[in-house]
Structure 1
Amino acid sequence: MQNPDEIFVALRDAMVELFELDPEQVTPDANLYEDLEIDSIDAVDLIDHIKRQTGQKIAAEDFKAVRTVGDVVEVVNRLVNPVAP
């Protein structure tokens, strides 16, 4: 299992590679759309990358509420570390 810090580092590295971003830009508070200029096609690429890395699909409704890098980390954390009932 990965903790949120490890997820953030992996996500930041992926975003730097996928979208040619400066690593310093990718912070937990960075807004995907305004600060990082991620568009809907980029978001699909990011979702696909997460699916390949985790082996799990992110539900579209989970990703609709995502606004910041920290939000993505939370979604991925819930995917890879499900809460036991």
Structure 2
Amino acid sequence: MDKSVIIEKINDFLIDEFEVDADVITPDAVLKDTLGLDSLDYVDLVVTVESNFGVKLGEADFVGISTFQNFYDLIENKIKAK
């Protein structure tokens, strides 16, 4: 899967699931702050990623993930490792 397709798919479900404006989703934006994530939201995020990409995410995967770019890279790497 091409990285641009991954990014587009991620942004689409983030906009739908977390009801954020597409303009605030930029590679350098802070994921947690931009989406207003709490611990339950992370669960929703993990479930959504698993259903959209068929990859499993654990708590350890989010260590060091702060920006949208970090998150895109994580998902891309998980897809490649499948």
Normalising by structure 2, what TM-score?
A: 0.87
CA distance in 1, matches of 2:34, 2:51: 25
Q: Which residue of 2 aligns with 1:76?
A: 75
CA distance in 1, matches of 2:40, 2:63: 14
CA distance in 1, matches of 2:16, 2:6: 15
Gaps of 5+ in 2: none
CA distance in 2, matches of 1:33, 1:59: 16
Aligned structure 1 segments of 4 or more residues deviating by more than 3 angstroms = none
Q: Which has the higher helix share?
A: 2
Matched length: 82
Gaps of 5+ in 1: none
Q: Which residue of 2 aligns with 1:17?
A: 16
1:57 is paired with a residue of what secondary structure?
coil
After superposition, the C-alpha distances for 1:59-83 in whole angstroms (9 at most, x for unaligned) are 3211222111111111110111129
Q: Which residue of 2 aligns with 1:44?
A: 43
2:72 is paired with a residue of what secondary structure?
helix
Normalising by structure 1, what TM-score?
A: 0.84
CA distance in 1, matches of 2:34, 2:53: 26
Q: Which residue of 1 aligns with 2:27?
A: 28
Identity over the aligned pairs, expressed in percent?
27
